[in-house]
Structure 1
């Protein structure tokens, strides 16, 4: 979730906003309703990538690189559009 606050509120609510950021929230700071900055946590909230974790979940069809059928290729041909 993103929290949006105006610059005038940031000083008064900074501790509260910082607590929200540390919980994983994003704070957008706006000036007169226009976003000008974003406050996000610097801690790494993502886990490291593990090679092979999704092995077997993606299958590439044997005909992946074969030419497209003529009827589908015709859909890409814009010369018949006027």
Structure 2
């Protein structure tokens, strides 16, 4: 989410805005309604495990089976021509 404030509000609410930036918000500071600067955190937030859609959620363990491993190895063997007896 982005917070937009004017310069006067940014000066008077600096501590509150700094906490918002630390929490991952972006602050746009404007002069007479025209954006002039953007404040955002210099430290990226660590991703939460399972935050990538479809990865790490329920059932992901089933994707790693011996059959799937053998199938992937066979694809590499085919690409390298290792399955040809010649």
The equivalent of 1:26 in structure 2 is 26
Q: CA deviation at 1:8?
A: 1.1
Runs of 4+ in structure 1 off by over 3 angstroms are none
The equivalent of 1:9 in structure 2 is 9
Quote the Cα distance in structure 2 between the aligned partners of 1:46 and 1:36: 29
Q: Give unmatched runs, 5+ long, in structure 1.
A: 48-52, 54-82
- The TM-score normalised by the length of structure 1 is 0.54
Q: How many residues align?
A: 48
CA RMSD of aligned residues (A): 1.4
Q: Give unmatched runs, 5+ long, in structure 2.
A: 48-54, 56-86
Quote the Cα distance in structure 1 between the aligned partners of 2:29 and 2:18: 12
Quote the Cα distance in structure 1 between the aligned partners of 2:20 and 2:5: 12
Residue pairs, 1:39-58, within 5 angstroms: 39-45=39-45, 47=47
Q: CA deviation at 1:45?
A: 2.2
Quote the Cα distance in structure 2 between the aligned partners of 1:33 and 1:46: 33
